[in-house]
Amino acid sequence: MFCCAKCSIILNHPSMFPWSTTQQEMKAGSVKALARLLSAVENEVAGYLDFLAQLQPGKAPLIGITGPPGAGKSTLTDALIDHWVGEDQKLAVLCVDPSSPFNLGALLGDRIRMSSWYNHPQVYIRSLATRGALGGLHPQIMEMVAVLQAAGFDRVLVETVGVGQSEVEIAGLADATVVVLVPEGGDEVQTMKAGLMEIADLFVVNKADRPGSAKFVTHLKQMMAPAFLRNHALPILTTVAAEKQGMAELAAAIDQHLSSTATKERRAWLLAERAYLGLQKERMKNISKIELKNKVQAALDQPGFHFYAFLHTLLHG
């Protein structure tokens, strides 16, 4: 998981981590220093909160790319990278994979779709596991994004796990949330309707060269008719990401959303969501899943195991 042997040694000895020096190296353009800082923040090395508190906030917008499994999120992200690199922009991409409930490692490694960018000087890509977190994200995603924004990138992209309606967490973090769908997903969209309407800033119907795509777009527009208390219709774009078709239009729609004047209420909700997640993580930091697993395993060995009685005991002692 660590970016290099040197970083591994430092993370195993937290008092050794040179926050200030590494930050200076990051500002000078060192990719290795950036990777070390991300690893230190990801693993909550001693001093990381003090480091984040003094970190100068960057202006790079955070763009979330989400949607159901198989919609082509990785391929769409790859095509967007190609478009923005062509405009001489510097990009950071965090790709979140689902993780095993047993060892918290990543289950999928579909970053092969973006393999051509790993050594590109204008692109930094890091793949993360959810570590069991719900909402399609990594538990340290906010902190890692803050580091990337401070590193001077023009945009930060986060591709989430395809977990459906529970993937609403990205809406509390992203400046623009792109929901990617496919023409065959009619029934699936109906199932996830409420969640999708809440989190989307714009919809992308990918693989639009497939039969039925026009009908699906029409159906999606009809579903959005109530607009869920929004005072404007959400953009619906069509793309064929594998052929890099529709990327200019999608990039323009994202920029238009980013430049629009957001309501104070929406901005307040976004910040409240970020604060809630930060407080939740801080309050939960002393709870170890490994310790919980050991307690559950011990309780299972006792006759008459009752989950909610077990939970009540944990909560009230």
**pLDDT band at residue 112, thresholds of 50, 70 and 90?**
low
pLDDT of 232 reads 67
| Residue of 116, 121, 146, 91 whose CA lies nearest to 29 | 121
- Tens of pLDDT, residues 119-171: 899 999 988 865 544 444 567 888 899 999 999 999 999 988 765 444 556 76
Q: Which pLDDT score is estimated for 24?
A: 95
24-80, pLDDT tens digit by residue? 999 999 999 999 999 999 888 999 989 998 998 888 999 999 888 788 898 999 999
Element (DSSP H or E) covering residue 157: strand 155-159
DSSP 234-266: PPEEE-BGGGTBTHHHHHHHHHHHHHS---HHH
When mean pLDDT is compared across 57-66, 160-169, 198-207, 307-316, the lowest value belongs to 160-169
Q: What angle do CA 269, 275, 281 make, to 5 degrees?
A: 135
- The fraction of the chain above a pLDDT of 70, given in percent, is 73
Using DSSP's 3-state secondary structure scheme, residue 308 falls into: helix
Q: What is the mean pLDDT of the chain?
A: 80
* pTM summary value: 0.78
